[in-house]
Amino acid sequence: MIVKHGMNYLTVLNSARNHKLAPPLAVLRRQQFLIRVLGVRGDNRMQGSKFEADSDNILRAITPVFDPNRHKGQAGKIAVIGGCREYTGAPYFAAISALKIGADLSHVFCTKDAAPVIKSYSPELIVHPVLEESYSVGDRDRDKDHISRRVVAEVDKWMERFDCLVVGPGLGRDPFLLDCVSEIIKQARQSNVPIIIDGDGLFLVTNNLGLVSGYPLAILTPNVNEYKRLVQKVLNCEVNDQDAHGQLLSLAKQIGEVTILRKGKCDLISDGEIVKSVSNHGSPRRCGGQGDILSGSVAVFLSWARQLILADEGNLIISPTNPTMLGCIAGSALLRKAASLAFEDRKRSTLTTDIIECLGRSLEDICPAC
């Protein structure tokens, strides 16, 4: 029996039954595999479309060359705001990915409980145990005010040094903690520091859009669920995949000046002016943490793109020209390439840490260090 593209597993099985040719299990498995492979490639309608970003050239254009005159910090200082009792992996994935791509320094601001755990994953990260959750604060409003001011001040004293903040991976949803993070976002805006909002940061921002509205250095990176919540809140309707581009454009416009990276089978990116897609082959594994790699990666590429645009004073021949768009395109393309390499190697056992190990090789393939 010939397996054709468009046939699903049941069609194959039924067809085999009808022909009284029940194939051995191994053959069926092989056919199921072929259908899946064909399905993934066949569905990739964005690839080669006019919306598809020229991601390899963008990666080449914004990745800085090594220069012996540069000092520590010039290739990027990133801070992740996240990590609580439940989640220690997510902030680690984001922060270590930033370093593996080429940032010089990566900080994590997390709760006291999460800090020793995150530190133990890696000596490379600078971990600040400054965030507080309700259970550790008590009920007295005076204490809360005092602690909140202290938390915000602890982060703020570093703020000017950061090239980008990633707010949300593994942050949790504790109300007191989220109030403090709202203040941290306001301080970052005042200092003109770019902010990537991911994970629980999106829960916070969806309920208080004023935090990012009108800030062109804000990037939101929603997954399927987070996007649905944003669309419902902002556009007052359901997600419309028939007009995915139009809806994303409206969403970014309606929130006001932000850039949105909608994650999925194909990543869609819009700053409210244009829409671009990144659909290079990724991995079929959907293990948790890939979005965290993405947020850390986007932080680095956004910092590099911004540096380049500021240094080049408008002479740069690259499209699009918005650094937040460039950061999203580069981050998405690199993560997908690394995921694909990791999957080639590890197949079903591919984990987020395997993908992180492929980030360097993936960038090297496109843009060699020397």
Ligand X SMILES: Nc1ncnc2c1ncn2[C@@H]1O[C@H](COP(=O)(O)OP(=O)(O)OP(=O)(O)O)[C@@H](O)[C@H]1O
Q: Which two tokens stand for residue 263?
A: 């994650």
Q: Give the separation between CA 157 and CA 117, rounded to whole angstroms.
A: 24
Residue 90 touches ligand NPW, criterion: CB under 6 A: yes
**Which of 129, 272, 291, 323 forms a contact with ligand NPW (CB under 6 A)?**
291
Give the distance, in angstroms, between the CA of residue 36 and the centroid of all CA atoms in the same chain.
26
Residue 29, annotated as binding a ligand: no
Applying CB under 6 A, the span of 31-39, 235-243, 264-272, 361-369 interacting with ligand X comes to 264-272
First to last CA, the chain: 51
- Tell me the per-residue interface mask from 271 to 290 with ligand X, x by CB under 6 A, - otherwise: -----------x---x-xxx
Q: Which amino acid is at 311?
A: A
Report whether 108 contacts 170 (CB < 8 A). no
291 interacts with ligand X by CB under 6 A: yes
Q: Applying CB under 6 A, does 91 fall inside the site for ligand X?
A: no
Work out what residue 265 binds among ligand X, Mg ion, ligand NPW, none; the CB cut-off runs from 5 to 8 Å by kind.
ligand X
DSSP H or E run through 267: strand 267-270
- Using the rule CB under 5 A, give the single segment among 67-75, 80-88, 196-204, 345-353 that binds Mg ion: 196-204
- Find out whether 155 and 126 touch, Cβ atoms under 8 Å: no
Q: What angle do CA 44, 45, 49 make, to 5 degrees?
A: 125
In a 3-state reduction of DSSP, which class is residue 194? coil
Distance CA 159, CA 188 (A): 7
Q: Which is nearer to ligand X, 130 or 293 (CB)?
A: 293
Angle between helices 175-190 and 141-159 (to 10 degrees): 40
287 marked as part of a ligand binding site: yes
Rounded to a whole number of angstroms, the minimum distance from the CB of residue 222 to ligand X is 8
207 annotated ligand binder:
no
Considering only 37-45, 104-112, 175-183, 198-206, which stretch makes contact with Mg ion by CB under 5 A?
198-206
**Is 292 among the residues that bind ligand NPW (CB under 6 A)?**
yes
| 332 lies in the binding site for ligand X (CB under 6 A) | yes
Q: Which listed option, ligand NPW, Mg ion, ligand X, none, makes contact with residue 309 (CB within 5 to 8 Å by class)?
A: none
- What number of chain residues touch ligand NPW (CB under 6 A)? 16
Q: Which does 323 bind (CB under 5 to 8 A by kind): Mg ion, ligand NPW, ligand X, none?
A: none
Q: Which amino acid is at 211?
A: L
Alpha-carbon torsion, ordered 7, 12, 13, 16, to 10 deg: 150
What gap in Å lies between CA 370 and CA 368, rounded to an integer?
6
Nearest 5°: CA angle at 269, between 263 and 274?
160
Binding-site ranges for ligand X (CB under 6 A): 199, 223, 263-265, 267, 282, 286, 288-292, 294, 332, 335-336
Binding residue positions for (6S)-NADPHX: 170, 223-229, 292
Binding-site ranges for ligand NPW (CB under 6 A): 87, 89-90, 169-171, 199-200, 223-226, 288-289, 291-292
